[in-house]
Structure 1
Amino acid sequence: MIPFSQTWPYDLIMGDMYVHRCPFCGQENVLLPMRPKELQAVRDGKKKLLVFPCCKASLTVIDTDADYLLFDRPVRS
Protein backbone atom coordinates (compact mmCIF):
# COMPACT_ATOMS: atom_id res chain seq x y z
CA MET A 1 0.00 0.00 0.00
CA ILE A 2 1.26 3.47 -0.89
CA PRO A 3 1.76 5.75 2.14
CA PHE A 4 -0.50 8.79 1.64
CA SER A 5 1.91 10.94 3.68
CA GLN A 6 4.48 10.65 0.87
CA THR A 7 2.17 11.83 -1.93
CA TRP A 8 1.35 15.27 -3.27
CA PRO A 9 -1.23 16.17 -5.97
CA TYR A 10 -0.23 17.86 -9.20
CA ASP A 11 -2.01 19.27 -12.25
CA LEU A 12 -1.08 19.39 -15.92
CA ILE A 13 -2.07 22.69 -17.50
CA MET A 14 -1.16 23.38 -21.13
CA GLY A 15 1.95 21.18 -20.99
CA ASP A 16 3.21 22.46 -17.62
CA MET A 17 3.12 20.75 -14.23
CA TYR A 18 1.80 22.68 -11.23
CA VAL A 19 1.10 21.98 -7.58
CA HIS A 20 -1.64 23.98 -5.84
CA ARG A 21 0.58 24.63 -2.83
CA CYS A 22 4.21 23.95 -1.95
CA PRO A 23 4.40 21.38 0.89
CA PHE A 24 7.33 23.26 2.45
CA CYS A 25 6.77 27.02 2.22
CA GLY A 26 3.06 27.19 1.36
CA GLN A 27 3.50 29.17 -1.89
CA GLU A 28 0.44 28.73 -4.11
CA ASN A 29 0.33 27.64 -7.78
CA VAL A 30 3.96 26.53 -8.07
CA LEU A 31 5.24 25.69 -11.56
CA LEU A 32 7.35 22.54 -11.25
CA PRO A 33 10.63 22.13 -13.15
CA MET A 34 9.43 18.80 -14.54
CA ARG A 35 7.92 18.04 -17.93
CA PRO A 36 4.90 15.79 -18.46
CA LYS A 37 7.01 13.49 -20.66
CA GLU A 38 9.18 12.73 -17.61
CA LEU A 39 6.17 11.20 -15.83
CA GLN A 40 6.37 8.04 -17.95
CA ALA A 41 10.09 7.62 -17.20
CA VAL A 42 9.33 7.85 -13.47
CA ARG A 43 6.50 5.32 -13.84
CA ASP A 44 8.99 3.00 -15.55
CA GLY A 45 11.29 3.13 -12.51
CA LYS A 46 13.60 6.12 -13.09
CA LYS A 47 13.87 8.43 -10.07
CA LYS A 48 13.69 12.20 -10.53
CA LEU A 49 15.12 14.86 -8.21
CA LEU A 50 12.53 17.64 -7.95
CA VAL A 51 13.59 21.04 -6.58
CA PHE A 52 10.72 23.36 -5.74
CA PRO A 53 11.60 26.77 -7.28
CA CYS A 54 9.83 28.76 -4.56
CA CYS A 55 11.95 27.62 -1.59
CA LYS A 56 14.64 25.35 -3.12
CA ALA A 57 13.47 22.34 -1.07
CA SER A 58 14.17 19.07 -2.85
CA LEU A 59 12.54 15.65 -2.97
CA THR A 60 13.04 12.54 -5.05
CA VAL A 61 10.02 11.46 -7.09
CA ILE A 62 9.88 7.66 -7.06
CA ASP A 63 6.50 7.05 -8.72
CA THR A 64 3.54 8.87 -10.26
CA ASP A 65 -0.03 8.31 -11.32
CA ALA A 66 -2.52 10.55 -13.10
CA ASP A 67 -3.01 12.79 -10.04
CA TYR A 68 -0.22 12.31 -7.49
CA LEU A 69 3.55 12.31 -7.19
CA LEU A 70 5.05 9.77 -4.76
CA PHE A 71 8.16 10.97 -2.94
CA ASP A 72 10.93 9.19 -1.03
CA ARG A 73 9.95 10.83 2.26
CA PRO A 74 6.78 12.21 3.89
CA VAL A 75 5.49 15.62 2.81
CA ARG A 76 2.32 15.55 4.95
CA SER A 77 2.06 15.47 8.71
Structure 2
Amino acid sequence: MIPFSHAWPYDQFQGDLYVQYCPFCSKEHVLLPMKPQELKSVREGKKKLLVFPCCGASLSVIDSDGDYLLFDRAVR
Protein backbone atom coordinates (compact mmCIF):
# COMPACT_ATOMS: atom_id res chain seq x y z
CA MET A 1 0.00 0.00 0.00
CA ILE A 2 1.30 3.46 -0.92
CA PRO A 3 1.68 5.73 2.12
CA PHE A 4 -0.51 8.80 1.63
CA SER A 5 1.93 10.83 3.72
CA HIS A 6 4.50 10.50 0.89
CA ALA A 7 2.11 11.59 -1.90
CA TRP A 8 1.38 15.12 -3.13
CA PRO A 9 -1.28 16.14 -5.68
CA TYR A 10 -0.31 17.85 -8.91
CA ASP A 11 -2.12 19.34 -11.91
CA GLN A 12 -1.18 19.29 -15.56
CA PHE A 13 -2.03 22.37 -17.62
CA GLN A 14 -0.84 23.17 -21.16
CA GLY A 15 2.23 20.95 -20.95
CA ASP A 16 3.34 22.09 -17.49
CA LEU A 17 3.04 20.52 -14.06
CA TYR A 18 1.81 22.55 -11.08
CA VAL A 19 1.09 21.98 -7.41
CA GLN A 20 -1.58 23.97 -5.62
CA TYR A 21 0.93 24.93 -2.93
CA CYS A 22 4.43 24.00 -1.84
CA PRO A 23 4.55 21.48 1.04
CA PHE A 24 7.53 23.34 2.54
CA CYS A 25 6.94 27.09 2.23
CA SER A 26 3.18 27.07 1.35
CA LYS A 27 3.60 29.29 -1.72
CA GLU A 28 0.56 28.89 -3.98
CA HIS A 29 0.45 27.75 -7.65
CA VAL A 30 4.02 26.50 -7.98
CA LEU A 31 5.24 25.58 -11.47
CA LEU A 32 7.34 22.42 -11.17
CA PRO A 33 10.60 22.08 -13.11
CA MET A 34 9.36 18.80 -14.57
CA LYS A 35 7.64 18.02 -17.86
CA PRO A 36 4.80 15.53 -18.38
CA GLN A 37 7.13 13.41 -20.55
CA GLU A 38 9.32 12.82 -17.48
CA LEU A 39 6.38 11.25 -15.66
CA LYS A 40 6.58 8.26 -18.02
CA SER A 41 10.19 7.52 -17.06
CA VAL A 42 9.26 7.89 -13.36
CA ARG A 43 6.44 5.37 -13.81
CA GLU A 44 8.96 2.99 -15.42
CA GLY A 45 11.13 3.10 -12.28
CA LYS A 46 13.57 5.95 -12.83
CA LYS A 47 13.86 8.37 -9.90
CA LYS A 48 13.68 12.13 -10.54
CA LEU A 49 15.13 14.78 -8.24
CA LEU A 50 12.56 17.56 -7.94
CA VAL A 51 13.69 20.93 -6.57
CA PHE A 52 10.88 23.31 -5.71
CA PRO A 53 11.73 26.68 -7.32
CA CYS A 54 10.01 28.70 -4.61
CA CYS A 55 12.17 27.63 -1.67
CA GLY A 56 14.84 25.26 -3.00
CA ALA A 57 13.62 22.22 -1.06
CA SER A 58 14.27 18.96 -2.87
CA LEU A 59 12.62 15.54 -2.98
CA SER A 60 13.05 12.44 -5.11
CA VAL A 61 9.99 11.44 -7.12
CA ILE A 62 9.82 7.64 -7.08
CA ASP A 63 6.41 7.08 -8.71
CA SER A 64 3.37 8.92 -10.04
CA ASP A 65 -0.13 8.42 -11.29
CA GLY A 66 -2.65 10.73 -12.92
CA ASP A 67 -3.16 12.79 -9.76
CA TYR A 68 -0.29 12.31 -7.31
CA LEU A 69 3.50 12.34 -7.18
CA LEU A 70 5.01 9.80 -4.77
CA PHE A 71 8.13 10.96 -2.94
CA ASP A 72 10.89 9.13 -1.06
CA ARG A 73 9.95 10.82 2.23
CA ALA A 74 6.89 12.23 3.96
CA VAL A 75 5.53 15.60 2.84
CA ARG A 76 2.40 15.69 4.99
Normalising by structure 2, we get a TM-score of 1.00
Alpha-carbon shift at residue 29 of structure 1 (Å): 0.1
Alpha-carbon shift at residue 51 of structure 1 (Å): 0.1
Q: CA RMSD in A?
A: 0.2
Q: Determine helix, strand or coil for the equivalent of 1:18.
A: strand
Between the aligned residues of both structures, percent identity stands at 72
Query: After TM superposition, what 4+ stretches of structure 1 lie above 4 angstroms from structure 2?
Result: none
* Aligned length, in residue pairs: 76
Structure 2 residue identity aligned to 1:53: P
- What's 2:21 paired with? 21
- What's 2:68 paired with? 68
Normalising by structure 1, we get a TM-score of 0.98
Unmatched segments (≥5 aa) in structure 2: none
Alpha-carbon shift at residue 37 of structure 1 (Å): 0.2
Distance in 2 (alpha carbons) for counterparts of 1:35 and 1:15: 7
Distance in 1 (alpha carbons) for counterparts of 2:13 and 2:65: 16
- What's 1:5 paired with? 5
Unmatched segments (≥5 aa) in structure 1: none
Alpha-carbon shift at residue 5 of structure 1 (Å): 0.1
Q: Determine helix, strand or coil for the equivalent of 1:39.
A: helix
Distance in 1 (alpha carbons) for counterparts of 2:17 and 2:40: 14
Confirm or deny that 1:49 pairs with 2:17.
Answer: no
Alpha-carbon shift at residue 48 of structure 1 (Å): 0.1
